[in-house]
Amino acid sequence: MSGSQPLRILIAGFQHETNTFAPTKADWAAFNRGETFPAYVHGPVMVKRFAEANIPVGGFISEARTHGWTLLPSCWAGATPSAHVTQDAFERLAGEILRDLRAALAHGGLDAVYLDLHGAAVAEHLDDAEGELLARIRTEAGPDVPIVASLDMHANVTQQMLETADALACYRTYPHVDMADTGRLAARLLARRLQCGRRESLHAMRLSFLLPLNVQTTMAEPAASIYAELRALEAEHDVVLSFATGFPAADIAECGPVVWAHGEAAEAAVRKLYARIDAPRSQWRLDLLAPRAAVARGLEIAAGARRPVVIADTQDNPGAGGDSNTTGMLHALLAEGAGRRFPQQVALGLMWDPEAAAAAHAAGVGNEITLALGAAVPTFTGVASDSPLQGRFTVRALSDGHIALKGPMTMDPTVELGPSACLEIDGVLVAVASAKSQMLDRELFRQLGIEPERMKLLVNKSSVHFRADFAPIAEAILVAKAAGPMAADPTDLPWRKLPLTMSRHP
């Protein structure tokens, strides 16, 4: 390309976090629904839709404009975390990106490729889905076209990904409030690569243990201090430094945390950060409570508190492969008499149960319905989760599920959860939806007349993302280990492909 003409950059996105132990796969329809992700989009509308969105491609688009780059949008697709991406879905998405890549190369040429990736996708036929996608793009584009990608903090970064891409950058916050910032960082990495005319030096080191999701939050120690040190080392060594904590529920050979850096002093920066993460390993200790113990402790705290106590139902987190429909915490609330102690001041959400939501809409507000709420689902233990809750519920509120989000974790201005309902049983309020979403925004409760700030006890089907919007109002946050598809402790999982050299715990 002529140096006097704007650089032409192909952009695309593929977002999926794969829990290989989960019950439900991500098919083509899942990527078209999107649910808590934006739905599938292809072509120029991508730029218009995502230019202001808090997702990596949105940040990249914003930064690209400051450089005057011409963007050639292919497709962007994301699906709620689940079990494997189906072969059909992966090949359709990869095929579209490659067709657009070939067209760009044939009509005007191409200066670079940017990909908005998660980094922990596993397809039915590919353990390293993103590595394969990068390799196919590299084959078509050739060795000289720079390829840069942004990654989720939970990426399981593989050797193929590191070797194929010219540069990679991942989130630095969990909850992920820096998604767009990471897209901007990827654009700056690409600008560095284009300016120097060659790949910058790369150094990477893989940790030898898995990190449970709940201890990865950057709103607490040790991660808060570690990412602060990452930024300091970056400035000290003039490198771009990344620490992907990994997604610890993907049974692949390269599951786990990785530290890497781009720049002349990459090795020195990586070694220093690696040492800080690796010792002492006791800093990554995990505290979990059994369901009834979590409720009992929550009620004890709530009795003298002016703000709600929040309990994370982490093993049914739909942001990590759960289906948001297990009932262990609901049974525990009823067994501990939570709703009788604080009537209509105890709430759980979101429960994914389209049939229950439909029944509530058919009955109307104020009426009672008898149903079996939730489901018993397969879990990594080989034993199903708790049975559905059979009972008589009062319909307290209804919603069409079109919700404007306001919290820090917002990716798109709105989500579409379909017919939704607030059901009450024995004083406990249950927020039920027809689509899956982890409870990461207070508006997901508020749409059904549940005011989170006025509650005594909130049970959120989420692991960490809820903290971004709920920590500011919480008296205390507890983490419960109720039966579900997402293991809070990686040692509980029946690993087959993880190397024996990789410890299942810190």
The tens place of each residue's pLDDT in the chain, 506 residues long, gives 445 689 999 999 999 999 999 999 999 999 999 887 889 999 999 999 999 899 999 999 999 999 999 999 999 999 999 999 999 999 999 999 999 999 999 999 999 999 999 999 999 999 999 999 999 999 999 999 999 999 999 999 999 999 999 999 999 999 999 999 999 999 999 999 999 999 999 999 999 999 999 999 999 999 999 999 999 999 999 999 999 999 999 999 999 999 999 999 999 999 999 999 999 999 999 889 999 999 999 999 999 999 999 999 999 999 999 999 999 999 999 999 999 999 999 999 999 999 999 999 999 999 999 999 999 999 998 899 999 999 999 999 999 999 999 999 877 678 899 999 999 999 999 999 999 999 999 999 999 999 999 999 999 999 999 999 999 999 999 999 999 999 999 999 999 999 999 999 99
**How far is Cα 318 from Cα 23, in angstroms, rounded to an integer?**
11
Residues 307 and 266 in one domain: no
Residues 203 and 328 in one domain: no
**How far is Cα 282 from Cα 30, in angstroms, rounded to an integer?**
39
Residues 296 and 280 in one domain: no
Residues 91 and 223 in one domain: yes
Residue 501 lies in a domain: no
SS (H, E, C) 139-190: HHHCCCCCEEEEECCCCCCCHHHHHHCCEEEECCCCCCCCHHHHHHHHHHHH
Dihedral pair phi/psi, residue 68, rounded to 5°: 75, 25
Residues 238 and 99 in one domain: yes
Q: What is the pLDDT of residue 185?
A: 98
Residue 330 lies in a domain: yes
Last residue of a domain, one of 284, 311, 338: 284
Domains: count for the chain: 2
Residues 274 and 329 in one domain: no
Q: Which of 193, 272, 206, 288 is nearest to 479 (CA)?
A: 288
Task: List Cβ neighbours of 107 (8 Å cut-off, separation of 6 or more).
Answer: none
**How far is Cα 13 from Cα 47, in angstroms, rounded to an integer?**
12
Strand order in the sheet with 457-460: 368-373, 389-399, 420-425, 428-433, 346-352, 457-460, 309-313, 476-480
Q: Which domain holds residue 58?
A: 8-284
Residue 27 lies in a domain: yes
Query: 315 — alpha (psi -120 to 50), left (phi > 0) or beta?
Result: alpha
Residues 200 and 270 in one domain: yes
Last residue of a domain, one of 256, 284, 312: 284
**How far is Cα 315 from Cα 208, in angstroms, rounded to an integer?**
24
Task: List Cβ neighbours of 4 (8 Å cut-off, separation of 6 or more).
Answer: none
Residues 240 and 309 in one domain: no
Residue 351 lies in a domain: yes
Residues 351 and 265 in one domain: no
SS (H, E, C) 16-53: CEECCCCCCCECHHHHHHCCCCCCCEECCHHHHHHCCC
Q: What is the pLDDT of residue 2?
A: 43
Q: What is the pLDDT of residue 35?
A: 82
Residue 311 lies in a domain: yes
Residue 3 lies in a domain: no
**How far is Cα 247 from Cα 252, in angstroms, rounded to an integer?**
11
What pTM value is reported for the model?
0.94
- The answer to whether the CB of 81 falls within 8 A of the CB of 203 is no
CA distances from 162 to 158, 189, 194 (A): 6, 14, 18
DSSP class of 417: -
Q: What is the pLDDT of residue 409?
A: 84
Residues 327 and 449 in one domain: yes
CA distances from 313 to 24, 296, 353, 357, 467 (A): 19, 15, 17, 21, 13
CATH number at residue 137: 3.40.50.2300
Q: Provide the CB-side half-sphere exposure for 78 (13 A, CA).
A: 24
Alpha helices, DSSP H, located in 352-442: 354-363
Residues 250 and 300 in one domain: no
Last residue of a domain, one of 240, 269, 284: 284
Helix (H) or strand (E) holding 397: strand 389-399
Q: What is the pLDDT of residue 3?
A: 53
**How far is Cα 326 from Cα 484, in angstroms, rounded to an integer?**
7
Query: Token pair of 383, please?
Result: 């034993």
Residues 130 and 66 in one domain: yes
